[in-house]
Amino acid sequence: MFKYVSYTPMTDAYTTHEFNEKDDKCKVHRFDVPYVSAECESEEDFLDLMAYQNPLIEAVEITKVEFEDLVKHSDQVSRMYDVANEQYRKDLEPVTKKYSQEEMNSWPVQSIEANAIISGEEADTPYLDALALDEDITVEEAAAKVLLNKSEYDNADAVAQTSKRKTLSELKMKVGM
């Protein structure tokens, strides 16, 4: 079971007093001072942990919602997102490694042009024209190629997004979020 604590660190002439672990019955997950989540075996263990604290630090139990609101911009939560985002980038790399960021930024416009060509609309198609010229194919073939690439990317992105959300959820669960 997880419990959440806000406390006020106290410094005396010799040391800074913070929220301390007592024994193996409760695992304390530290966030930016002054917040911790405590993973305890029982309510009694948590109460024992709270009683063990130096009374000068003013440790108080808070709700999970309060805790999440207080730590949402912490370095620890930021690192969770960094880990999940790095996993996302790795999962997408097989699809994106052959393209520059500038080219990927043009994909929405390329898709609009390709859809216009496929549906028979009259439209300016500078990206498709360049692709067709570069690869010595027709504009229609370039449109089909762009839509196939978009489909490949969208499928890979859906899988990567799912994996990212799962990773983030697992990391948060480990600290009671």
Indicate if 50 and 98 belong to the same structural domain.
Answer: no
Chain centre to alpha carbon of residue 3: 23
Q: What is the pLDDT of residue 13?
A: 83
Domain-terminating residue out of 29, 54, 71: 71
DSSP string over 69-90:
HHHTTSHHHHHHHHHHHHHHHH
- The residue range of the domain holding 54 is 2-71
Q: What total number of domains does the chain contain?
A: 2
Indicate if 131 and 63 belong to the same structural domain.
Answer: no
Q: Which two tokens stand for residue 111?
A: 């898709």
Indicate if 91 and 165 belong to the same structural domain.
Answer: yes
Indicate if 98 and 40 belong to the same structural domain.
Answer: no
Indicate if 83 and 164 belong to the same structural domain.
Answer: yes
Domain-terminating residue out of 47, 71, 95: 71
Q: Which two tokens stand for residue 139?
A: 């504009």
Q: What is the pLDDT along the chain (177 residues), one digit of tens a residue?
A: 999 999 999 888 888 889 999 999 999 999 987 999 999 999 999 999 999 998 889 999 999 999 999 999 999 999 999 999 999 999 999 999 988 889 889 999 999 999 999 999 988 999 999 999 999 999 999 999 999 999 999 999 999 999 999 999 999 999 999
Indicate if 101 and 163 belong to the same structural domain.
Answer: yes
Indicate if 64 and 149 belong to the same structural domain.
Answer: no
Indicate if 63 and 80 belong to the same structural domain.
Answer: no
* Non-local CB neighbours of 117 within 8 Å, separated by 6+ positions: 123, 125, 128, 139, 140, 142, 143
Indicate if 60 and 79 belong to the same structural domain.
Answer: no
Indicate if 48 and 108 belong to the same structural domain.
Answer: no
Indicate if 105 and 169 belong to the same structural domain.
Answer: yes
Indicate if 8 and 79 belong to the same structural domain.
Answer: no
Domain-terminating residue out of 12, 39, 71: 71
